[in-house]
Amino acid sequence: MLPGQLAADSYEAGQRQPGDYEAQVSQRPIAIHGLEHIGATDRGVMMFRNQTRRGIRAVQAGHDPASLCRDGGGVIPTYCNDTVVRMPPDVEPAVDRQSMREIGRQLADAYFRDPPLWASDTSRMAMRPLGALKETSVEQAVD
């Protein structure tokens, strides 16, 4: 187990270096949301809770919750699908980071110009945005 996944050796150690375990048990067996101090960075938590509540209400009303996928065994489409851009690392870490940033931006721009999920032919979905990167010296592969 990694540090933080089990209880600390002592109460003091758990207070000085709290981990995941302390975060979970400090919430009580049933969390009382009214005792929380929600901040701007907790927006995702609130969005998840609201989505869960809407899903529970939908099931109670006899409907399926939003985004329920009953098509098992198929590939779940994601925005970037299974795109992998292979590029050799640069000797200089700063140059390597800059190259990854530039290629990432080019790929994102290509996705926004020609979204892959709007393609009618699913075999072409992941390949279409890579066309914009063909001019670069980067070796590309879609796995």
Q: What pLDDT, on a 0 to 100 scale, did the predictor assign at position 49?
A: 92
Q: What pLDDT, on a 0 to 100 scale, did the predictor assign at position 132?
A: 46
Residue 93 near residue 84, CB atoms below 8 Å: no
Distance of alpha carbon 53 from alpha carbon 36, whole angstroms: 18
Q: What pLDDT, on a 0 to 100 scale, did the predictor assign at position 122?
A: 46
Can you give the pTM of this predicted structure? 0.40
Name the CA dihedral angle for 3, 5, 10, 15, rounded to a multiple of 10 degrees: 90
Q: What pLDDT, on a 0 to 100 scale, did the predictor assign at position 6?
A: 79
pLDDT 10s digit of each residue in the chain, 143 long? 566 677 888 888 888 888 888 888 887 788 788 888 888 888 998 999 999 999 999 999 999 998 787 776 666 666 666 677 788 888 999 999 999 899 888 888 887 787 766 544 444 444 444 554 554 434 433 33
Q: Which of 75, 79, 55, 59 is nearest to 67 (CA)?
A: 55
Q: What pLDDT, on a 0 to 100 scale, did the predictor assign at position 87?
A: 83
Name the CA dihedral angle for 59, 62, 65, 69, rounded to a multiple of 10 degrees: 120
**DSSP classification of residue 40:** G
Q: What pLDDT, on a 0 to 100 scale, did the predictor assign at position 9?
A: 86
Compute how many other C-beta atoms are within 10 angstroms of the C-beta atom of residue 143. Answer: 7
